[in-house]
């Protein structure tokens, strides 16, 4: 029976429950991280913990255990489930409170950690690339809730995802409040033009992806020019290549946007080179 770690206890998956009065459930008041385990090693563990702590601080949520305890809890959950490769969902909620949004009513934040398998996209999409659309739903305004916070409030992303599903594609680009490209519903977006890799900046309304950072680093190691810059849909439409990055998605090519073929309509050479390089990183640790 799979095990889930909840506030210091490992419980069977079927008994892994939270209170209906938990403000994470009632109001989306909490933060989380999606993390990968490859060959028994937590990938970019410290970077994920940094982002979790930063997200919690941004919403004035005190994580009730230390980083060392959090790291140990993830390892305990992995071991209990016998995984060497898996997806980890680490969550911190405001905790159990009362009806009403005031966090002052919540006695103590709650932590739960799930370890399970995940396959976001079918294997053929990694070989042939995917089609995506541009959603009508925009990314959160930075003065509402910063997109740099990985919060449990994902409703605008979900609405954009529904538009993608309705269009028969797996992902959707979300624009920011200025109409510029931000990211996809669960992935960061990159494009290639004239040999240069380009991706939106943190000021464009993105979550600072861990895989995004790794890929930017790989560009440096491989001698591929890479810049962070503001992009518009027009830039994507005339790009030579396009690809997405994310913890669950890893690196996957985009070959069509809004019905328009990107470049040759095939997985491009720079995208393929980065996919292969990322594969080596996760295999070699």
C-alpha closest to that of 8 among 109, 142, 101, 128: 109
Q: Taken in order 255, 257, 263, 269, is the CA torsion positive or negative?
A: negative
How many whole angstroms separate alpha carbon 134 and alpha carbon 260? 11
150 part of the active site: yes
Strand order across the beta sheet in which 41-42 lies = 9-12, 3-6, 110-116, 86-93, 30-38, 41-42
Radius of gyration of the chain (CA): 19
C-alpha closest to that of 95 among 105, 80, 82: 105
How many whole angstroms separate alpha carbon 235 and alpha carbon 193? 9
Q: Which of 79, 105, 128, 150 is catalytic?
A: 150
How many whole angstroms separate alpha carbon 274 and alpha carbon 279? 8
Active site residues per annotation: 150
């Amino acid at each position: 029976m799979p095990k889930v770690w909840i506030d210091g206890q490992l419980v069977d998956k079927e008994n892994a429950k939270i209170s209906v009065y938990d403000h994470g459930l009632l109001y989306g008041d909490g933060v989380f991280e999606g993390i990968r385990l490859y060959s028994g090693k937590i990938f970019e563990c410290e970077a994920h913990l940094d982002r979790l702590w930063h997200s919690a601080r941004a919403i004035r949520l005190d994580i009730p255990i230390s980083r060392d305890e959090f790291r140990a809890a993830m390892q305990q959950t992995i071991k209990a489930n016998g995984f060497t490769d898996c997806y980890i969902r680490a969550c911190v909620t405001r905790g159990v409170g009362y009806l009403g949004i005031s966090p002052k009513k919540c006695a103590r934040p709650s932590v739960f950690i799930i370890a399970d398998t995940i396959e976001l996209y079918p294997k053929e999409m990694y070989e042939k690339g995917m089609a995506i659309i541009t959603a009508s739903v925009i990314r959160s305004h930075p003065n509402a809730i910063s997109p740099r916070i990985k919060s449990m409030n994902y409703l605008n992303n979900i609405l954009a995802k529904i538009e993608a599903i309705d269009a028969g594609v797996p992902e959707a680009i979300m624009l920011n409040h200025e109409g510029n490209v931000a990211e996809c519903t669960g992935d960061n977006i990159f494009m290639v033009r004239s040999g240069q890799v380009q991706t939106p900046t943190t000021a464009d309304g993105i979550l600072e992806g861990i895989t995004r950072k790794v890929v930017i680093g790989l560009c440096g190691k491989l001698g591929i020019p890479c810049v962070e810059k503001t992009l518009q849909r027009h830039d994507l439409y005339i790009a030579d290549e396009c690809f997405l990055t994310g913890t669950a998605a890893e690196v996957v090519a985009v070959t069509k946007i809004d019905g328009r073929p990107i470049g040759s309509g095939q997985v491009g050479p720079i995208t393929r080179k980065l996919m292969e390089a990322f594969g080596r990183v996760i295999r070699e640790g």
